[in-house]
Amino acid sequence: MNHPHSHPASAGNTLLLAMLLTLAFAAVEAGVGLWAGSLALVADAGHMVNDAAALALAAGAAWLARRPVSPRHSYGLGRAEFIAALINSLALLALVAWLAISAVERLQTPLAVQGEAVSVTAAIGLAINLLVAWLLTRGEKNLNTRAALLHVLGDLLGSVAALLSGLIIAFTGWTPIDPLLSLAIGGLILVSSLRLLREALHGLMEGAPFDIEPEAVGRALAGVPGVASVHDLHIWNVKADEPLLSAHLVVHDIARWESVLEASHALLAERFGIHHATLQPEPITRTVHWRELPAHDHEHKHDR
């Protein structure tokens, strides 16, 4: 997701163009694959649909970043990205199952494949993927575009596999290479879809972001001057790359809370990229967690 100082409209337009190019050629590739009898080409088309879905999610995220919050949705609508990712990943797992079954059937009962048509189509697909990757590298750099670029680079491998399948069949007539390479493409889709499913479920269950270690955040907050301890720490995502935090800080002197609060917000933003934090002060009589021990306490902690 984008922060207010970025340019979500530009990012969204780039992602939308990349998605339309990818989806349009995926339809062409699927049609040629069915006509030419190439399961590898159909598999690569499925992988390109995966990429188009990833690009659509990223474009949707850029659009949702501009939507204002409302009394009913005080955090905005960023969680829709996790829901869409969940649906997308489940659909991709169904595609992988179909590819695996079709490939086994094709190995048992080989069919004729138009190698030349497959090669030409796969080569065009490779060029389309290179163009889409170029568009993404030229646009705004954020988490969504980087993730979409990884999808497209993975699809480059699928296009190369389909191209190899067509060339090998055209020159040798060895048709088993087609279902074998389709299984390889299915493996690529399986890895990316399982990763997407994991991230979607983790986000919907309000898990802490994978790139943030909650205990490290707690210990860092406990080290802020004036803070005695930290507890009831929660970190979660509403939007894909916009973590939220809430915590209770036990302070030595409640009168100095304003300076402690300012230092804590600065620490969270600079070290962990957390810009939305709700921190509650509590008197030092509360239970201590994540206490920063002074140097002499570290040396003598086993003597207590």
Which residues touch 235 (CB under 8 Å, ≥6 apart)?
208, 209, 212, 214, 217, 243, 244, 245, 274
Map tokens 């169904």 to a residue: 94
Q: Is residue 169 a contact partner of residue 113, using CB atoms and an 8 Å limit? A: yes
Q: Give the dihedral sign, CA 286/292/293/295.
A: negative
List, for residues 239-261, the tens digit of each pLDDT value: 767 899 999 999 999 999 999 99
* CATH class of the domain comprising 214-303: alpha beta
Q: Rounded to whole angstroms, how far apart are CA atoms 243 and 80?
A: 15
* Single pTM value for the model: 0.68
Q: Is residue 136 a contact partner of residue 148, using CB atoms and an 8 Å limit? A: yes
Q: Is residue 133 a contact partner of residue 156, using CB atoms and an 8 Å limit? A: yes
Q: What are phi and psi of 278, to 5 degrees?
A: -110, 115
Map tokens 């349009």 to a residue: 24
List, for residues 25-59, the tens digit of each pLDDT value: 888 888 888 887 877 777 778 777 877 777 777 67
Which letter, b or e, does each residue of 84-106 get, where b requires 16 or more Cβ atoms within 10 Å of its Cβ? bbbebbeebbebbeebbebbeeb
- Classify domain 8-204 at the CATH topology level: Alpha-lytic protease prodomain-like (1.20.1510)
Grouping H, G, I as helix, E, B as strand and the rest as coil, residue 228 is: strand
Q: What is the enclosing helix (H) or strand (E) of 120? A: helix 115-138
Query: Which pLDDT score is estimated for 300?
Result: 44
Domain boundaries defined on the chain:
8-204, 214-303
List, for residues 100-134, the tens digit of each pLDDT value: 887 888 788 776 777 777 788 878 888 888 888 88
Find, among 249, 232, 237, the residue nearest to 274 by Cα: 237
Mean residue pLDDT across the chain: 79
Q: What is the number of other CB atoms lying within 10 angstroms of the CB of residue 218?
A: 19
